Structure 1
């Protein structure tokens, strides 16, 4: 639905944990910007001077600045690692998800540049559009602090959609507006700026994805509703980052590079897959053999996707700026879910079924087990394995042994990261899973076991709900062009150029005004009768009528303009017209059925006529 009022963002000074974190990010970004300017100046001086004492002093200053930058980047990395701030407040125990902080931007004053452009390009008084310009700037200010809910997402989407109109109205392809858009890198805090509006669009789209990650992380994943919402949020985050990667190139900041966005898309898909596993644990019966096999395969799939994320994060161009806690968390989850896959395989073999399976059940189990392992385990045939409790126990023990090894590896990697060691919930989850596997192992371990526990084969990863990458639905939030009064975009856009507006006074002659009209918003003068009143007054074929007797007609329909012209008296009529440069009417075009022998001027987009152009039926010979 259209939003009539400019929505408000969150109070940036609100004392919530998230706002405090974002405020600290903004402060660190500014300090990094200051230190980088100092470093650039010092490096220029170092290169320019030949004085050895000056070189020594500058080298010392550079060392000090680089040290400060390193400390600031470590502080920013710690903020990027503050995952607990974004999690939900419920008492349920869930493995924390990785959210992203929002990109910060500097304030932008567009009042003078847009007023100047309106005066120069559109021939209108720029001061008359101050209200619209201020509304746009208020919208931009609000979207810097979106709330962590659906309203915040709509605010970012509304601003993004308004940028389409801003681009069409004020950014011609051959020149820039002279305005720089400043944004800070989400991961490094390094400032970047560009004149291109595409940088603004891309940064807003990045924040749309980041806000989805925060919404996903805050869901209570102990409930089915919370898991469903988390899955949806992470899929939409993946879609936003993927759309950004496919549609924006040459980003000046590392967080929006193709390598970084690929990593973020894969991370979001992995978090979706983790939620799918958690959803399965809620929905599936825990004492059913096939259900436990499915859980084991789901866990193996989660391990698979997190392993891919870890490989992506370890790439040379990515590992230098991804927080160490992220890389460690991803590696911990990979090991943790591999351990869970072997644990569920073990309890499927050892605990289910309690009774001898029927022939039909045995056939179904065989079918499922054939697709369960990557390679078939050594030993007896499949049927014997499934029917013999002792053989099942042996294989289950092998799976448990591997699960315990992977649990211990996850805990070892977790202990290497100072930030993760502070996360009590993660420590509790890893410890609980490890103790549970140890308890099960001691339960099935018999003193009379003289066989050597073999190596459990890997479990074939499989999921019953493949993650979707949901691209942003920009049409979901409909907006009205704030600069609507400038006229229809088909004509009144930054890419079109026209001659100065003319005012023509016409007196109706014996044969009327002597011209014909076509189209709507704005109405086009389709033909001028030679020797008629219109021709003598200077009207030309291809002129657009923008006013009649002072009434603005840029958005007027064909019939409305005809009625205004018909209602004129003996004193005549004043018509305001504009002519697009290079607008001599070409021959007919086949894609517009209403144009039989003439078409819209060159430079006007033919697609904008929508096939609704009307033949010249209004011959004003009144």
Structure 2
């Protein structure tokens, strides 16, 4: 995914006039993404065509008994498979670009794995929403054109969020507005006919659904993906940058975990449970990597305890990336996850295991206190020096020197494997920073080994023990669940009335009544606010004669809308009733509805279908 827009708030120029752009939106990204999506769509079409050709050729090969025909088909199959491989490599290069999201700092650090945003098509909701307002709310839909336009502009803006906190707030604002849209317009009794188009984050394959849950899940996915981009862009050469990266990756993990726990039956593979589980593990691994970088950044003058702590943290990073690799290797994801991601995880697994051996070796070789070193080695489960046989006159530090040398040999082997895996992947070879980091770490291990290598070392350890991690770490990854309450929004369609009554799930009957004050008063009692409820009607009183009933809601007095009015305001309006009376508009919620359903009884097995009715009771109004 290429995303080359600026992170700052910008303005769009059109014919010399400057138009304000919603905060958190980056419209320049739209052009880049549309070009990318067109290229991906074209590649997917070509891949599907080649797959059909291959399927037909394989069927012909199996069905034919002519050897010459089989040879011709086999040759054609080789060409088709070659084309397929080239097309898939080109598509993967589009889908797994990591360089564009990395920090622009000149500091050399291991690149992180960010996630591109899911793309979506623009939707015109004007006609469906207007129809629903006219039919369900019995309102003049033309009066709500501004609200519909505001919502569509918000959706358009969230398609291109800027890679900063303002972009996150924009996505969360739209996510919160979807709650109100769901309550207002998505009725269980009818469909709006709005189709939500979203493209897979990694493959670009489109998915279409009418369910608003798909829209919510896709926005939540983009919230997590945007956090991965924010984390990858941090300058991790400072403690502040590392902490910001940790916070971003923890929030990304929380978004993916929340999506996995609350949304099911996703139509696209990137939102499936195995994919989300893998993404959560990947984010946790990148948090652990940042924690390790923090320890290394605090390292001064080869302090013994810091060296051993760095070794343990590096070993932990290697372990968690091994778990990520297992999650990527499940059957559903094996051919889905980009090869560059798998290669990067493999490289990091070996790279950080090599660093663990390197820091252990430096601690063992440069220590000055054998007693302190023995205690520290026990903390990271390195074999104690008692495993060696030596004469009483030998210095114990020499034994640590031998074990350190063994760890260096293991570190060099791991570094070389990381460099080999880096060279296998075409995309990783283009990442100069990664090449520089791996080569520098390899050179440090070689330099240290040549520094301590002596020709008269005859008592060498054949194999260094693996460094086992304890349960504690300097900073345990804390998955942060998305907090949508921090972005407060106002219901765009609040003029339709309070949601407790005026919602898509409710049905009501609206009536007009003329209320005239009698000698005994109006003959009714009121309760509540927004809207005010008729709590009781005096039999034979003025309200009863006007047709008011208990549980009616007063929505207008003398033509003045009072759906959002407080109790005191409505009481004051009713007290102003003169001999000419008051014009009231009230609504009555329908407490139950009758729907025909098909049911089969044992006695009906040999009979045609019969219609039965089932009553769906609703809870009484508040």
TM-score between the two structures when normalised by the length of structure 2:
0.84
Count of residues in Structure 1 that have an aligned counterpart in Structure 2: 559
Q: Does residue 578 in structure 1 map to residue 587 in structure 2?
A: yes
Are the equivalent residues in 2 in contact too, given 1:111–1:133 (CA < 8 A)?
Answer: yes
Q: CA separation of 1:21/1:535 partners in 2, compared to 1, >3 Å: closer, same or farther?
A: same
Q: SS state of the match for residue 586, structure 2?
A: strand
TM-aligned CA deviation for residue 537 of structure 1: 1.4
Could you tell me which residue of structure 2 aligns to residue 590 of structure 1?
none
Q: Does residue 371 in structure 1 map to residue 379 in structure 2?
A: yes
Could you tell me which residue of structure 1 aligns to residue 406 of structure 2?
398
1:68 and 1:498 mapped to 2: Cα distance? 62
Could you tell me which residue of structure 1 aligns to residue 230 of structure 2?
215
TM-aligned CA deviation for residue 82 of structure 1: 1.8
TM-aligned CA deviation for residue 378 of structure 1: 6.3
Larger RCO of the pair (alpha carbons < 8 Å, separation 6+): 1
Can you list the C-alpha shifts for 1:429-455, whole angstroms capped at 9, x where unaligned? 111111110110111111101224321
Q: CA separation of 1:386/1:223 partners in 2, compared to 1, >3 Å: closer, same or farther?
A: farther
Could you tell me which residue of structure 2 aligns to residue 335 of structure 1?
350
1:386 and 1:205 mapped to 2: Cα distance? 64
Q: Does residue 273 in structure 1 map to residue 281 in structure 2?
A: no
Could you tell me which residue of structure 2 aligns to residue 615 of structure 1?
none
Q: Does residue 461 in structure 1 map to residue 461 in structure 2?
A: no
Q: SS state of the match for residue 525, structure 1?
A: strand
1:225 and 1:120 mapped to 2: Cα distance? 55
2:123 and 2:313 mapped to 1: Cα distance? 48
TM-aligned CA deviation for residue 413 of structure 1: 1.0
Alpha-carbon RMSD across the aligned residues, in angstroms, is 3.1
2:476 and 2:568 mapped to 1: Cα distance? 55
Alignment of 1:174-213 (within 5 A): 174-213=189-228
Q: CA separation of 1:40/1:297 partners in 2, compared to 1, >3 Å: closer, same or farther?
A: closer
Are the equivalent residues in 1 in contact too, given 2:177–2:489 (CA < 8 A)?
Answer: yes
Unaligned stretches of 5+ in structure 2?
A: 1-19, 58-62, 64-76, 594-616
Aligned match of 1:415 in 413, 423, 429? 423
Q: Does residue 565 in structure 1 map to residue 587 in structure 2?
A: no
Aligned match of 2:563 in 535, 554, 571? 554
Q: Does residue 151 in structure 1 map to residue 161 in structure 2?
A: no
Q: CA separation of 1:294/1:147 partners in 2, compared to 1, >3 Å: closer, same or farther?
A: same
Are the equivalent residues in 1 in contact too, given 2:53–2:80 (CA < 8 A)?
Answer: no
Alignment of 1:60-75 (within 5 A): 73-75=88-90
Q: SS state of the match for residue 579, structure 1?
A: strand
2:94 and 2:133 mapped to 1: Cα distance? 43
Q: CA separation of 1:386/1:565 partners in 2, compared to 1, >3 Å: closer, same or farther?
A: farther
Q: CA separation of 1:349/1:77 partners in 2, compared to 1, >3 Å: closer, same or farther?
A: same
Aligned match of 2:499 in 489, 507, 516? 489
Q: CA separation of 1:554/1:23 partners in 2, compared to 1, >3 Å: closer, same or farther?
A: same
Q: Does residue 229 in structure 1 map to residue 237 in structure 2?
A: no
Could you tell me which residue of structure 2 aligns to residue 99 of structure 1?
114
Q: SS state of the match for residue 345, structure 1?
A: helix
Could you tell me which residue of structure 2 aligns to residue 292 of structure 1?
307
Could you tell me which residue of structure 2 aligns to residue 22 of structure 1?
33
Are the equivalent residues in 2 in contact too, given 1:235–1:272 (CA < 8 A)?
Answer: yes
TM-aligned CA deviation for residue 367 of structure 1: 3.6
Could you tell me which residue of structure 1 aligns to residue 614 of structure 2?
none
Can you list the C-alpha shifts for 1:116-145, whole angstroms capped at 9, x where unaligned? 111111111111111001100000000000
Are the equivalent residues in 2 in contact too, given 1:209–1:240 (CA < 8 A)?
Answer: yes
Q: CA separation of 1:33/1:476 partners in 2, compared to 1, >3 Å: closer, same or farther?
A: farther
